[in-house]
Amino acid sequence: MPTISTNIAANTALAYLNQNSAAESAALAKISSGSNLTSAANDAAGLAISTNMKSDLAVLQQAATNTTNGESVLNTADGALSNISDVLTRMKALAAQAQSGSSDASSLSDIQTEFSALATEISNIATQTTFNGQALLSTTNADGTTSAFTSTLGATFLTGTSSSDTISVKLSDLTSMITALKGLDVTTGTGATTAMSTLTTDIQSISTDRASVGAQLEQLQYTGDTISTSITNLQSASSAISDVDLSAEQTTYTNEQTLTSAAVSALTEANAMQGELLKVLQ
């Protein structure tokens, strides 16, 4: 029934216009942001899941960095241990030379000079091999604090999303070995024999330390590969929830844009109806 007091047609057209315009704006927001979750109202459950995934992803990315840092620590320590092994081998050769019957007192003194210098060099390597201020092969850091890497438990690296997902990197403290090396004297036959025995033990000890470093390094490398796979899978799962499907959303936007235009036209026509109705009174 036509009326002039209430324009039902215009109100209906306006309601649809608001509805279509809101849908058009929502589709445009998703397209421009690239996210399917521009508002919690879009998908409350999906938003909660996506937020948790992003949180886990951030932790895993830091865990990947932690793992890389752990590998760097072990590679640094292994390089230093390799150098120490080479120096010990040279010292053992000197101890053997000192046991030659052709070595006179002057020669033995020269051998001892080089021997002592090499012992000092091992001490320098052990004390100066650090990572981010932490000593790797001695108990005490440069600032006097205790190194975590040579402690009983070792330094802990978080390698997962839980606080229990950790790997401890533990390195040997060479302080006692260095002290013993500095006390060796190869200027006498007895001293040279003692030095040979001590150096044989030390070389074997360094080899054992390098094997331990290698095992820990391998563990971290495998863990790093696992973390990398987890990050990729989590990114894929999060993307499926939060990222917008541009093709589908573009289609939605186009449909809503058409409906909005139709609603505008309908509202214009409905408003014009009031004027037409007044002609009845003329």
Q: What is the pLDDT of residues 95-123, one digit of tens each?
A: 999 998 777 889 999 999 999 999 999 99
CA distances 271 to 3, 63, 246, 265, 266, Å, are 12, 64, 37, 10, 9
Torsion 197-200-202-204 (CA) sign: negative
In tens, the pLDDT along 219-269 reads 999 999 999 999 988 888 877 776 666 677 778 768 777 877 877 777 787
| Tally of CA atoms within 13 A in the half-sphere of 254 that contains its CB | 6
| Alpha-carbon distance values, 15 to 20, 22, 67, 189 (Å) | 9, 11, 58, 107
Compute the distance between CA of residue 224 and CA of residue 216 in angstroms, rounded to an integer: 12
pLDDT at 254: 80
Strand partners, 146: 140
Burial class (CB in 10 A: 0-12, 13-18, 19+), 5: exposed
Residues 6+ apart with CB under 8 A from 175: 126, 138, 139
Distances 270 to 256, 277, 280 between C-alpha atoms, Å? 20, 11, 17
DSSP run (H or E) holding 169: strand 166-169
Please enumerate in sequence order all residues whose Cβ is within 8 A of that of 113, keeping only pairs 6 or more positions apart, or say none.
none
What is the distance, to the nearest Å, from the Cα of residue 163 to the centroid of all Cα atoms in its chain?
Answer: 15
Question: What would the two tokens of residue 159 be?
Answer: 């390698």
Instruction: State the residue for tokens 């690296």.
Output: 157
- pLDDT at residue 5 in the model: 61
Sign of CA dihedral 115, 202, 207, 146: negative
Determine the Cα–Cα distance for residues 176 and 182; give it in Å rounded to an integer.
Answer: 10
Judge contact between 186 and 196, C-beta under 8 A. Answer: no
pLDDT of the residue at 269:
75
Cα(178)–Cα(192) distance, rounded to whole angstroms? Answer: 17
The low-confidence residues of the chain, meaning pLDDT below 50, are none
pTM: 0.75
Backbone angles phi, psi at 155, to 5 degrees: -85, 135
Helix (H, G, I), strand (E, B) or coil at 131: strand
- Contact criterion met (CB below 8 Å) for 127 and 138: yes
